[in-house]
Amino acid sequence: MNKKNILLIISIVVIALLSCSLSENDRQDNFLIDDNLVKNDKNLEIKFQVNSIDTSWYDGAVFFEDFESGVSDWTSKRYYPDISTFSILGSGGIENSQCLRIISDDFNDACFYTVVDLSPSSYYNCIGWIKSENIELDEGASIAGNLCIMDSWWTSGSTGIYEFNWEQVSFTFSLDGTMLLAGFDPGTIKFGCRLGFFCSLVKGTVYFDNIGIYELPKHESEHFTLVIEPMDMGRISEGALNDWLDKLDLVYEEYHNLVGGYPFDGEKITILSVLQYPGGWAVAGNPIQWHQPWVGEELESIESEGHWSFGMIHEIGHDYDIDERWIFDCEHWANFKLTYVVEMLNAKVPTEFGYFQGDEIYDFWERLYEKNINDDDPDNDVCPTTWFCWIKEEIGWEPFKETFRDYLDGTVTKNPTEPIDRFNLFLDVLSSNTQDYEDVRDIWPEDILNMLIDYYGGSAGIVER
Ligand SMILES: [Ca+2]
Ligand SMILES: [Ca+2]
Ligand SMILES: [Zn+2]
């Protein structure tokens, strides 16, 4: 499925919020997305992600409600107080059990919530089942029936689909502050079943059943905290998982050897499996958000093939872009720095052309270059990582190491913002750290240098992370 379509199908609010931590580039890490993640209603052309998490893998729930004993300690909140009604039905839930129903007979944002105690230092999944009927969205609305944390932006997202039968909706969340509204009290989490959302008034009927909050277990290594589904842990042995985390610790140190600094002041990086679509296969940052549908498969092949995960090394590489003044192209830097790490650690990584190990990674970039210039797609003809590998072959890694350090220790004082200026600054500093070339640009054939200048001087240049 086309990447752009994928982005459109996720609820607008969720995308808008998550975009704060994304770059245009991270969205390009979509290489494994396919269309079985989404369900489609042809009439409204609004789709949403359906997960299928087996909750029996969890070590119990922090909170669970099946509505079989009615409800106590639940509170309703309505944007327009007179419009919506809340009921516990004696049947019609999962396996015809009891369930909660919200009806809004006119456009409203209506929520039924209860207070749950959670720890600010943990990660949780909110998972439940929703069924809807007669849904109509007000102008600008994008979220119908959903599970949410009140007084925050956290929501399962949902759908304007007119009618659908029971589907599992979910999201992975923490209480670390970025998604919380002013006045949010972390001691009293209000867990809500909701029809509508902020700026999303909806009418119709929605049913809720078997809603729960589940704490995610953590696996610690020296530099990483891995937080993944117990269900996905079932795809890899404990020994192989720890072995991989040890490898990621080596990756972390090797990136440090290349650039001379640490991201996030050396704080541990969390690798967090997320149920909602984060904007790609994974999205860099702290936490690195790793889209759950791909986690189990990757872990399984890490064990069976003994590889290190190209995708995860790449994401950690993004986190090592610790001086924004050298970033003229995030994806190039993540890939080029990965090349160093894979070579130095003799790491084995999967690619579209099969496995490459250690310095074979240079063959991979050549293969990719050959493919890109010979296929019918003119948009992939600029291959900066392949071409920077040509420079590295001539001058070695040392000048690159010195150059990154020149940025971090203040030797580089310029602060360009345009991609082309950052590109040229990097090459100038790199040249100053090179003995055999007055200008490393001379290593490139003129047409390639001109392609890069056009590329970063035009709209293709990518600066922001
Ligand atoms: Ca029930
Ligand atoms: Ca091409
Ligand atoms: Zn990337």
Report the separation in Å between the CA atom of 193 and the middle of ligand 1, taken as the mean of its atom positions: 14
At 38 the pLDDT is 36
Ligand number with the minimum distance to the CA of 101: 1
Report the separation in Å between the CA atom of 185 and the middle of ligand 3, taken as the mean of its atom positions: 35
The span from the CA of 179 to the CA of 193, in Å, is 18
Average of per-residue pLDDT values in the chain: 87
- Once rounded to an integer, what is the mean pLDDT over residues 85-107? 96
pLDDT digits (tens, 9 = 90+) for 215-229: 999 999 999 999 999
Q: Which of 396, 384, 375, 381 is nearest to 444 (CA)?
A: 384
At 48 the pLDDT is 47
At 22 the pLDDT is 34
- In this predicted structure, the answer to whether residue 29 has a pLDDT above a threshold of 70 is no
The span from the CA of 282 to the CA of 290, in Å, is 4
Based on its alpha-carbon atoms, the radius of gyration of the chain, rounded to whole angstroms, reads: 25
At 142 the pLDDT is 84
Report the separation in Å between the CA atom of 420 and the middle of ligand 3, taken as the mean of its atom positions: 20
The residues near 167 (Cβ < 8 Å, ≥ 6 apart) are 39, 50, 129, 130, 131
pLDDT digits (tens, 9 = 90+) for 364-407: 999 999 999 999 999 899 999 999 999 999 999 999 999 999 99
Report the separation in Å between the CA atom of 382 and the middle of ligand 2, taken as the mean of its atom positions: 8
At 417 the pLDDT is 93
Q: Could you tell me where the DSSP H helices lie in 260-322? A: 295-305, 310-319
Task: Yes or no: say if 58 and 49 are a contact pair by the CB < 8 Å rule.
Answer: no
Ligand number with the minimum distance to the CA of 368: 2
- Once rounded to an integer, what is the mean pLDDT over residues 55-72? 93
At 2 the pLDDT is 37
> Lowest-confidence range among 6-20, 153-167, 429-443?
6-20
Per the document, the length of the chain is 465
Ligand number with the minimum distance to the CA of 338: 3
Report the separation in Å between the CA atom of 31 and the middle of ligand 2, taken as the mean of its atom positions: 17
Report the separation in Å between the CA atom of 27 and the middle of ligand 3, taken as the mean of its atom positions: 8
Burial class (CB in 10 A: 0-12, 13-18, 19+), 451: middle
At 1 the pLDDT is 34
Report the separation in Å between the CA atom of 462 and the middle of ligand 3, taken as the mean of its atom positions: 12
- Once rounded to an integer, what is the mean pLDDT over residues 36-65? 64
> Lowest-confidence range among 116-120, 271-275, 403-407?
116-120
pLDDT digits (tens, 9 = 90+) for 170-191: 999 998 877 888 777 777 789 9
Report the separation in Å between the CA atom of 367 and the middle of ligand 3, taken as the mean of its atom positions: 19
Report the separation in Å between the CA atom of 217 and the middle of ligand 1, taken as the mean of its atom positions: 27
Ligand number with the minimum distance to the CA of 312: 3
CB atoms within 10 A of CB 178: 11
At 37 the pLDDT is 32
Ligand number with the minimum distance to the CA of 67: 1
At 23 the pLDDT is 35
- In this predicted structure, the answer to whether residue 28 has a pLDDT above a threshold of 90 is no
Residue 50: band (very low, low, confident or very high) from pLDDT cuts 50, 70, 90: low
